[in-house]
Structure 1
Amino acid sequence: MEPRRILTQILCVFFLTTGRNEGKLDAKSCSGRPALKLDQACLTFHNQLPTGVDVLYTSDYCYKCLYQPLVSVLNGPQNASVVVSTVLTLTLQLQPMGRNTTLCSWSQLYEEAAHYSVWIQESESPINVICYQTVDVSPSNIYFRGVVRRSSSRPFVTKDHSMQWMMKPKVVGTRLTLPSQNQQDCAHWTLSEVSWSWLRIPGVLQRLGFTYFILSLMQTFCGMREIPLSRGRWWDPVQDVVLYWPEWIFIILLETLWLCLTFLLPVPNCPTGYLGAGGIGDNGLYPNCTGGAAGYIDKWLLGDNIYHWPTCKAMYRTTQPFDPEGVLGTINSIVMGFMGMQAGKILIFYRKKDISVLSRFLVWAILLGNSAAILSKCTRDEGFIPVNKNLWSLSYITCMGCFSFLLLGVMYFVMDIKGWWGGQPFIYPGMNSIFVYVGHSLLGSYFPFSWEMRFVDSHWEKLFQSLWATSLWVLIAFLLYRKKFFLKI
């Protein structure tokens, strides 16, 4: 047999058996609709009224969002079924078809894989309507909710999906296509050139590289070559701050620039200082203002070469692109990196003074935590500057800085002072983080890291698959650690 055909058959078997597959759904159908998937429930509306009913919905985590149409039920007796998400609490509202009058409304977090019936009936009084709900099929995974829940409470709070883009080829895009069975070859590769009209310029590694570049320049020109001895000066307890006053002035100026651009820059057709998601949020008043000044600056500087699938797109029905690694947010990533440098200075200045190190970590955590609490008013959406990950808002970096100092203090106590733990096994992937990241990006959807799930409607197998893949990468990182192989950029 020709070597080429042998290789082709091997590739065929590999990709057909290990490729990502959605699999068949075993859940029962929702009144003729496709079977339920993960995080889905079925609602069947039974209309007993002489008029048709429109069912509207919104998520309680969608900030001031307009109600969206869910399903319409004709005049009774009629019924209609619809699949809803069980990830977030939903508020449903029923109103007569074609009229803006509320018949009834309720909020509920529906349980996964459950089937519900909502009955709409007239009461004894002709002006009142009774709406009540029954459970036809009991939910599954009811004790597993906390492990798999992920909140998108603020337009940009949830983790964005940009990580998958940065590792895509920048010169050519590679696509694997599987032709029909009547073709001789099982697999073939097609190459397509990347167009500058849509190529994304920002990215996670780009932001990290630029942040470290600015911080290294600042440390090179403003840093100290050696630590001066304490001479009984009144400011010696804060010498790790005072001696680096040029760096602090630079960071303060940077943060002032972020505040001015965010809250004073005029954005066409948008309110000045807007921080929302746009779309249907804020009562639909600013549909094209996604990200406010941050989004406007990115589109002005980078044009269409930014991220087009922000995390707010699904919930807020946005139409504008927004890049979570954009230009304006990079300013605050530099500020947050500077907080890490401050932690390093504490470790250097107060070496072998464990109490001094821990007390300073605690003081910084309190200062940053209080700042985040004041800026956000300890609320999800109503603060002066809400905690917003994709915008890298000031409250976000102070909140993350608070928890970072706390965690660093705990690790310093456990590992450096008490010596109870050496960091294993996390030090192994940490020493080869780029290799693990790139490897998982390229191979994470193939066996043995993933496989076609047998129980598609179960979180247990999905969790096991994730833990299995993580364990494999830790093992690979450990073997590379033993071989002293470290991939660096």
Structure 2
Amino acid sequence: MDEALLTVHNQMSYGLQVLYTSDYCYKCLYQPLASMEVGPGNVSVVLSTPFTLTLKASPVNATNTLCSISYLFEEAGHYSLWVTPGDALDVTCYISLDKFPHSTYQRLTVADLVMPWFVFIIGTSVMLAFSSMRRKGVTRLQLLRKLSWRTVVLMLIGFCFINYSPRDGLLSWSWLRIPGVLQRLAFTYFILSLMQMFSPYREIPPSQVRWWSPVQDVVLYWPEWIFILLLETMWLCVTFLLPVPNCPTGYLGAGGIGDNGLYPNCTGGAAAYIDRWLLGHNIYWHPTCKAMYHTTQPFDPEGVLGTINSIVMGFIGMQAGKIFLFYRKLNNKIIIRFSVWAVILGILAAILSKCTRDSGFIPVNKNLWSLSYVACMGSMSFVLLGMMYFVVDIKGWWGGQPFIYPGMNSILVYVGHSLLGFYFPFSWEMRYQDSHWEPLFRSLWGTALWIFITYLLYRKRFFLKI
């Protein structure tokens, strides 16, 4: 899957080596792909197909480039790279198609959006839930007990299931990892809840026209804004000013073969350095950058430093909750304010990233949860929530079914999938390893099965709560 066959045809009178790099890999060193000690001749190799590759040919044991070519190979296709002598001393490279690929698809995924959207809606839910509980007369002590208990339980669930191993038992001590998705969500929820619990404004203020009324949902919560600005200032200072041994200060790259191979052991910069300092080796050893950048250092995408911006993301979600409370039943104002926040955050993300993938002041980076990534995801979150509010609440075109059922038992689904997701009937060993339709069908089947289970639980009025 996601592979193609390339046959290199060397028509030169001497040996040839072919190197490659992915256009998605930032300033990466070329890596060896194929080599022929003598020419002419040919050799076949397997290529990865998700991203455009740049190939260059040079004589064996030499550094000069004879020719280079960029090409987006497609899955299961058979290709030929021809290196032929041209006029005078020129060398020509071209690619021919020997066997058509299975499909000419482009990989699309929303995986990078799911967690920040979830953090955003946690912030919105905290705002609405605390407002409801205060109206019911729940005391601060009761609130503190509830949120502390929920935080501890979520962290324990995340810690146990991320380290669960059928061979080692409940915890796998050989590759124990402390950070995780649920741990980050739990800590983010805890901080957001504390902010809301100690907020000086418990009720919606009387509707009086003041000069700052258009931004009252910001002005009335100025202590929270100061706290968030201080948190973000700390993230910026640590990220860009903390000295990291043998690495450039403020480094945000993947290390490995990236940045021309100058900083192979600097994966993640200050974020990884802090994790190693606080958590030792109990962090993630297989980051997503490892395959492309050939990194050797651990990096945890749910590490300590990134959790700061997770709190910021949740606070942006709290702002959506404040808009709901301040402008209840004023649908037009809610949609307008969602749109304004989406534009503001989108402009901030564009400025920080310079509208580029890698060359901005602060690139959009999911693994680091960079400020530009949070601003970009916050903008998209307001857009998505505004669309859902329009479709569900204003127009009544959709009630959220069937996804409301797993949403009402989200912890049960998470735990259940962690324990049973790799077993029949939720999953099975694929028969067609080189196809996309079978893993897609398997994923859709597993999702549908959990929706059906949670629907039955909904009918029975059973909800697993913490």
Indicate how the Cα distance of structure 1 residues 407 and 223 shifts in structure 2: closer, same or farther if over 3 A, else same: farther
Q: Offset of 1:101 from its aligned partner?
A: 1.0
| SS of equivalent residue, structure 1 residue 297 | helix
Map 1:155-234; keep pairs closer than 5 Å.
166=158, 169=161, 173-175=165-167, 191=169, 194-195=172-173, 198-234=175-211
From the superposition, tell whether residues 141 and 172 of structure 1 become closer, same or farther in structure 2 (CA, over 3 Å).
closer
Give the drift of 1:361: 0.8
1:217 CA displacement: 1.0
Q: Match for 2:100: what amino acid? A: S
CA-to-partner distance for each residue in 1:196-221, whole Å, 9 max, x for gaps?
A: x7421111111111111111111111
With over 3 angstroms needed to count, the CA separation of the structure-2 counterparts of 1:91 and 1:168, relative to structure 1, is farther
Q: In structure 2, do the counterparts of structure 1 residues 124 and 275 end up closer, same or farther at CA, with 3 Å as the change threshold?
A: closer
Q: Which amino acid aligns with 2:85?
A: E
Provide the rounded CA distance (Å) in 2 between the counterparts of 1:71 and 1:168.
44
Please say if residues 163 and 177 of structure 2, whose CA atoms lie closer than 8 Å, have aligned partners that are also in contact: no
Question: Relative contact order: is structure 1 or structure 2 higher (C-alpha 8 Å, sep ≥ 6)?
Answer: 1
2:446 to 460, 469, 476: 469
TM-score (norm 1): 0.82
Rounded Cα–Cα distance in structure 1 between residues aligned with 2:111 and 2:325? 39
Instruction: Specify the SS of the correspondent of 1:222.
Output: coil
- 1:9-58 per-residue CA deviation (whole Å, 9 max, x = no partner) reads xxxxxxxxxxxxxxxxxxxxxxxxxxxxx111101112222211111000
Supply the distance in 1 between the matched residues of 2:200 and 2:453 (Cα, whole angstroms). 38
Structure 1 partner of 2:347: 370
2:45 aligned residue: 82
Calculate the TM-score normalised by the size of structure 2. 0.86
Query: Aligned ranges for residues 237-248 of structure 1 at < 5 Å?
Result: 237-248=214-225
Structure 2 residue runs of 5 or longer lacking an equivalent are 117-156
Q: 1:437 to 1:336 in 2, by over 3 A?
A: same
2:402 & 2:169 partners in 1: Cα distance? 39
Q: Deviations over 1:323-356 (max 9, x none)?
A: 1111111111011101111111110111111111
- Matches of 2:162 and 2:447 in 1, distance apart? 27
Q: Aligned pair 1:58/2:21, yes or no?
A: yes
Aligned length: 423
> In the superposition, relative to structure 1, how do residues 445 and 116 fare at CA in structure 2: closer, same or farther (>3 Å)?
same
Instruction: Show the counterpart of 1:131.
Output: 93
Task: Quote the sequence identity (%).
Answer: 70
Q: Secondary structure at the match of 1:174?
A: coil
Aligned counterpart for 2:79 among listed residues 116, 126, 129: 116
Matches within 5 A, 1:262-411: 262-411=239-388
4+ residue segments displaced more than 6 Å: none
**Alpha-carbon separation, structure 1, partners of 2:56 and 2:40:** 19
Once the 2 structures are TM-superposed, how far is the Cα of residue 448 of structure 1 from its aligned partner? Answer: 2.1
Distance in 2 between residues matched to 1:172 and 1:455, nearest whole Å: 29
Paired residue for 2:102?
140
Distance of 1:95 and 1:241 partners within structure 2: 61
Mapped contact 1:294–1:327 kept (Cα < 8 A): yes
Any conservation in 2 of the 1:273–1:292 contact (CA below 8 Å)? yes
Q: Write the distance in 1 (CA, Å) between the matches of 2:164 and 2:230.
A: 40
User: Conserved in 2, the CA contact under 8 Å of 1:141 and 1:458?
Assistant: no
1:438 Cα deviation after fit: 2.0
2:438 is the alignment partner of 1:456: no
Distance 1:151 1:425, change over 3 A: closer
Change (3 A) 1:273 1:365: same
Please say if residues 453 and 461 of structure 1, whose CA atoms lie closer than 8 Å, have aligned partners that are also in contact: yes
1:21 alignment partner in structure 2 = none
The CA deviation at 1:454 is 3.4
CA distance in 2, matches of 1:192, 1:485: 27
Using a 3 Å threshold, how does the CA distance of structure 1 residues 130 and 235 change in structure 2: closer, same or farther?
closer
Larger radius of gyration: 1
Partner Cα separation in structure 1 for residue 170 and residue 329 of structure 2? 58
Whole-Å separation in 2 of the counterparts to 1:344 and 1:192: 38
**CA separation of 1:226/1:149 partners in 2, compared to 1, >3 Å: closer, same or farther?**
closer
Superposition deviation, residue 272 in structure 1 = 1.0
Aligned 8 A contact 2:256 2:295 in 1: yes
Deviation at 1:172, TM superposition (A): 7.0
1:453, CA displacement in angstroms? Answer: 3.0
CA offset digits 1:261-284 (Å, max 9, x no partner):
111111111111111101110111
Matched residue SS, 2:97: strand
Structure 2: distance between partners of 1:418 and 1:141: 39
Cα RMSD for the two superposed structures = 2.2
| Maintained 8 Å contact 1:47/1:74 | no
**Corresponding residue SS for 2:166:** strand
For residues 427 and 114 of structure 1, the distance between their equivalents in structure 2, rounded to whole angstroms, comes to: 42
The CA distance in 2 between the partners of 1:237 and 1:117, in whole Å, is 64
* Counterparts of 1:192 and 1:354, CA distance in 2: 49
1:242 is displaced (CA, Å) by 1.0
Alignment partner, residue 445 of structure 1: 422
In structure 2, the CA distance between the partners of 1:137 and 1:61, relative to structure 1 (3 Å rule), is same
CA contact (8 A) 2:159 2:179 kept: no
Q: Which residue matches 1:428? A: 405
The offset of 1:226, in angstroms, is 1.7
Distance (Å, rounded) in 1 between the aligned partners of 2:162 and 2:74? 43
The alpha carbon displacement at 1:77 in A equals: 2.8
State the alpha-carbon separation in 2 of the partners of residues 151 and 57 from structure 1.
Answer: 28
Q: Where does residue 463 of structure 2 map in the other structure?
A: 486
